[in-house]
Every structure is written in structure tokens, then in C-alpha cells.
Amino acid sequence: MCADVTTDVIKDASMLKQKEMIASNYDKITSAPETGVKVSSTFVPGNLNELTMCFDIANNLPEINALSNAMRKKTGAMISDAEKMGHSEDVCTYVKADLGMMAKGNIAPNGKPMPNPDMLLLSYTGCYTFLKWFELLREQYKCPTVMLHVPYEGEGKITKNMRDYVVKQLKEEVIPTMEQVSGVKFDIDRLREYMKDSAKAEDDLVWVLQSAKNVRSPIDAYFGAVYYIGPIFSAFRGTKDAVEYYSLLRSEIEERLAKGLGPVTPEGEMGEEKYRLVVEGPPNWTNFREFWKMFHEDGAVVVASSYSKVGGVYDYDGFRHDPQNPLESLAEYCMGCYTNRNLPDRTTMMADLVEEYQADGLLINSIKSCNSFAAGELLMLREVEARTGKPGAFIETDLVDPRYFSPANVKNRLESYFQMIEQKRQGGAQAA
């Protein structure tokens, strides 16, 4: 879910394809005042990309803008500007980066001015910060705003009443607003066609993510997965471009698997696979390459992560967009996103992944300003340790605020964790 993290990384055909896709979307957005294309601002978890495309509306995703600016080392100043405007240090740094970007002229990652959105589309999926964020944007842009209220999976399941409630909103509020903004009449057959392509891409993405069950893993399912999930979690799910991208990606990973190769890293080929980890929480974007290097230079490969599921849990419970029941499928997609699941469900998922992917344990990267992930993580860690018998560890960084990435602290904690894993292995060998 990253725009332009491909800098200095070995570029396979799939990565070149993705970079081209992302650049074209930003060009489409920033040229909207000249072309007349309508633009919607929305969020990654639970986004309605297939539906938005039915109205020829371009998707602009504020989180993607924030992390892209973080990769370019620009968010520190943006966050500082937002705090000078009165926003607390504890506010989500994606929000402050977005507000700071607006204060600095709202320049998109392609260097062109970002146009005001024609519509704000909020699909609420477990992150209450989204609500306040859009209140601030609504004050700024004064454009039509539509909220899709998505019931929280408090009981750990999606009921018919929950599904019907979301579908009713789609029919009575979301679709009419999109028709009004775009001037395009809704065509459910068009939606069905997009969903067919979504399902194709989702199948290939799942194959790629599950390739990490192999020992040795051909992918890194946290840092590397940032590239893999980008198109499907953002503005390309349901497109032919996404189908082509995931087909390319799968072919490349099949080749790596056949050759017994490990993941590709920013430094080149991964060396020996010494540790297999499951990671909970988003990555740090301001020091992404440095953060990744701390893992791969010690032979640590992330074989599964919660972040690779934030825009859709396809590889755990088998969800696919269903063209036969398109609106119901959109509802289930929104409700099933990782951040919309309760803590017991998330904990079970992490424990299952540790077992299924033969991991050495669960590592939590707790994000200072992200309560959607951070709440309950220590409890999750202890529970996963108890269920799996594998040691866990806890590090702390932030999304896009460079003040909260301490390289020495993170490195020390990681090395202590790897030593703990070694001790656990030695203890197990002696017991055997």
C-alpha cells in the first residue's frame, strides 16, 4: 500500500507495472480540473473501488499520500505545521501529515497540485479517527459527503441484519450521491464485471501471500507485501491493470520458489533464512528501508502480517468479491477488514498464522499514534505466546512521524528477540 517505495529496489516486471499504475492514477487525479474527471477522497480499509469506478470517479486515498510523503522525508515538517495549527501530538500522524500537506499547497506526489475532491466517501471500518479526519476535510472542501456506516464485528461474525443494513445504505445513500456527483447512472452489470476482475486478482494475491508457508519463504509478507498489496488495496481493485499485475507477480514468485530463492530486499537477494516471524501492526514509513534492513541483515523473514490484511482479509478466511451478489459482497468486504474485527478474532488470527506458517513467534510493532492497531496489543502478545508456546516481542515506532523512530532502540529489541528465539530453540532441542 505504498506509492513509490520502489526507489532503489530491484525492479521486476511487476514492480515496474505497479509504479506505472500508481503514476497514472496520480496523473488522472491532478489533471481532473482540465479533463473534468470527478475525484473522490476515501480510505483504504473498506474502500468501494469497484463501485466508484462505475461512476468514472477517480480515487484519492489520503493515507497513501501521507506514507508517500513519509518515504520522501517530507512528513516531519507537515506534522509540525499541523501541530502549530493546534492538533495534538497524540493525533494520528496520517491525519496531521494530510493537514500539513494541505497547508503547504496540497502538492501530490507527482509534484502537481491536488484538486479539491468532488466527494468525500467514508466507509467506516473500525477506525474512529476516520470520522474526525473527514469532519476536518469537510470543513475545508465543503463538498458532498457520504458515510457508509459499517457495523463492527463485535461478536466475531457477520449477520444477515448487518449485511442488509449496509446494502440499504449503499442503495439509498451512497449510490444516489455518486450518481448526483458524477452524472452517471448506476449500472449493476458494470459492477459485476469489475468484481470478476477483483476476484481474479485476489486469487493471485492469496497464492503469493501463502507462498510464505514454504521453508524457505520466497517473499517477505510485511515489508515485501507493501508492494504486493498496493494495487488491490487502493485504486486498482477491479481493473484489468490489477489482474495483469498480480498475474506477473505470481509468475515471478513461482520462479523464485522453483529456484529456492528467498525474498528480494532493497539490498538485493536475501541471505540465509534464520528466523520466521509473524508481525502485527503497520510498518514505519519514514525509515522504511532502514527498518527492513534490520530484519534481513539478521536473517529474519516476515512470513505473515496483519498489515497485509488491512485492506482485505483474503488469505485467511477465503473472502472474494462476488459478482453474483455485488452489493452484499461489498458489505461483507467492508465488515471483514482487519481493523473492523474484534480483539479476540485478531488474536486468534495471529496465533493461527504463527502455527500455519511455522513461525518462531509474534512480533508487534506498536504504532504510537494508531489506536486502531495499538489497543490491546500487549494482551494479544501474551495470549499468542500462551497458545503457541512461541516467544513474542514488542517494538514501538510510528507511521509517518520521524520523531518516533529510534534506530538504536528498535535494533536492540530485535536482537534481544532473536537471542530469545535461539534460547527457545536450544531449550527445545535439549528437552527432545
Mean pLDDT (whole number) for 31-53: 95
Classify domain 191-431 at the CATH class level: alpha beta
Mean pLDDT (whole number) for 217-240: 95
Angle at alpha carbon of residue 201, lines to 198 and 203, rounded to 5°: 110
Specify the amino acid at residue 164: D
pLDDT tens for 266-316 read: 888 899 999 999 999 999 999 999 999 999 999 999 999 999 999 999 999
From CA 239, how far away is CA 191, in angstroms rounded? Answer: 11
Residue with cell 457520504: 146
pLDDT tens for 340-385 read: 999 999 999 999 999 999 999 999 999 988 888 888 899 999 999 9
Give 132's pLDDT tier (boundaries 50, 70, 90): confident
Mean pLDDT (whole number) for 154-171: 96
Give 200's pLDDT tier (boundaries 50, 70, 90): very high
Q: What is the pLDDT of residue 9?
A: 45
**Is the per-residue pLDDT at 55 higher than 90?**
yes
Angle at alpha carbon of residue 288, lines to 283 and 292, rounded to 5°: 85
Q: Where are the domains of the chain?
A: 13-189, 191-431
Query: Which residues fall within 8 angstroms of residue 86, CB to CB, at 6 or more apart?
Result: none
Q: Is the four-CA dihedral 96, 98, 102, 107 of positive or negative sign?
A: positive
From CA 66, how far away is CA 70, in angstroms rounded? Answer: 6
Tally helices (H) and strands (E) across the chain: 19, 10
Q: Which three cell numbers stand for residue 65?
A: 499520500
Residue 38 · residue 55 · CB < 8 Å: yes
The reply to whether 191-431 shares the fold of 13-189 is yes
Residue 323 · residue 192 · CB < 8 Å: yes
The CATH code of domain 13-189 reads 3.40.50.11890
Q: What is the pTM of this model?
A: 0.93
pLDDT tens for 263-274 read: 999 888 899 999
